[in-house]
Chains A and B, each alone.
Chain A
């Protein structure tokens, strides 16, 4: 266990060091969510009741989908270059490698989420501390699973890499659009709502909205947490297996 911990810290600090050296990159990555928050969010004002309580959690889920995907991308770059191979020849624990990399994606997401929340406060976003904390915990769980999925995808795509772009692009947008992140699904036609219901992201989004409004007892919280747990469990299982099989 001590070597596992040591290896996790080694990999995590290796991943995180470049962000510390260049913290503005963190804000650049947030460009799109911020744009959505300010432009789209203001537009929505009349459409969905208290728009910020509705929209901020959506933006966070959106970041949760894009962030871990970029984690897979950095792994892909190291797989195509020789860095990953070099690390795989060292005795470093394979699971620690996965966990260390996921922790970086997780921490980045947390920092960005807190920033978004702080920026939304002056716009009229109401802070329900307990709900927000529970929401962030759920998001972190979800992002760990997604991150692991994107690592698996990166490993399967190497050395070419085309598969990674094709799959991540063709999956991410439907997942995003069919989850009701940007527009409410309630007014959608029946077939669209059915598609939304088989999308795990929908449950996360609903749970996040309940939590960010301070409604911790809402049943959607339970469904969302279950969805996050399932995604995390499957992702970690597959990710761990892919790492162990070697690169």
Chain B
């Protein structure tokens, strides 16, 4: 569904060139749900704008839905849906009118466009809001309208740029319910960026991490966490001396009375470890297992936290 080779974008600002995306190779097969993760300024949006024909690549190629974004942008546009970061509906347009317009933009006949608009209003629980202007909708309702606008022409591939950012937890869950149902019902390929790590972790079957314009990790959330971060066991002992011995036995590090070690499967390794320490006469006061998060993965890869917004240049 998406095949890029050496996709690159250079911006020139005040005689200074900035390479926002540095040669991305990416293959996404039909039906996948891919989460594109990265800190602000990593090149997420630039990549997405190139894949959706909004921005011409400086070099490299991208085949999206079977067509080249540079040579056949029209064919790409006809086959993809895009839900941008900002709200897509015009401020002085009625909800239903905007959906009909969108259908007309994709070449539907007026009657078809009207039928499709009503279908989408129903699908995304917007029917009662059909005659309102976007300004009177809640954040979650506006987001549902954005998604409806992206679905008018039943695309096989839908791009979503931060679909749940800025919404309260309930609206976020609601939006996700709609996204997942879409996938179940129509087998739509979904490519989305998100700020919320736990969303990527729970929902996506594939996580692609981008930093400094390059893809630095790609796999299922489980794989990435196991391979790049791993589970941890943390115990505390009554004395620092005991902690040192315990760290030696487990192959971990001690910090005061706290011992931390990285293991393959923490839940399975912990009982064994405790028995060994018991046999060595070490009294353990607390013990816990820690599953890594995608943030730990990012931290391992870059030495920075994904949730930090200050990215060194």
Contact = CB atoms under 8 A, between A and B. Distances in A.
**For B74, B104, B105, which residue has the most chain A Cβ atoms within 10 angstroms?**
B105
A18 B149 CA distance: 19
Nearest to A3: B107
A6 B109 CA distance: 10
B88 interface: yes
A81 B98 CA distance: 15
B87 A82 contact: yes
Contact of B82 (A14, A17, A89): A89
A83 B89 contact: yes
B101 interface: yes
Contacts of A92: 105
Q: Size range of the interface on A? A: 20 to 34
Interface in B141-174: 146, 149
Q: Size range of the interface on B? A: 20 to 34
Nearest to A85: B84
B161 to A, nearest CB: 9
B137 to A, nearest CB: 14
A190 interface: no
A246 B57 CA distance: 13
Given A85-B84, A86-B84, A91 B107 contact: yes
Given A82-B86, A85-B88, A246-B56, A18 B74 contact: no
A10 interface: yes
Given A78-B90, A81-B91, 4 more contacts: A6-B107, A82-B85, A87-B105, A246-B56
A-B residue pairs, 9 tightest by C-beta: A82-B86, A86-B88, A90-B105, A18-B92, A89-B82, A10-B104, A91-B77, A83-B90, A92-B105
Interface of B: 52-56, 74, 77-78, 80, 82, 84-94, 97-98, 101-102, 104-107, 146, 149
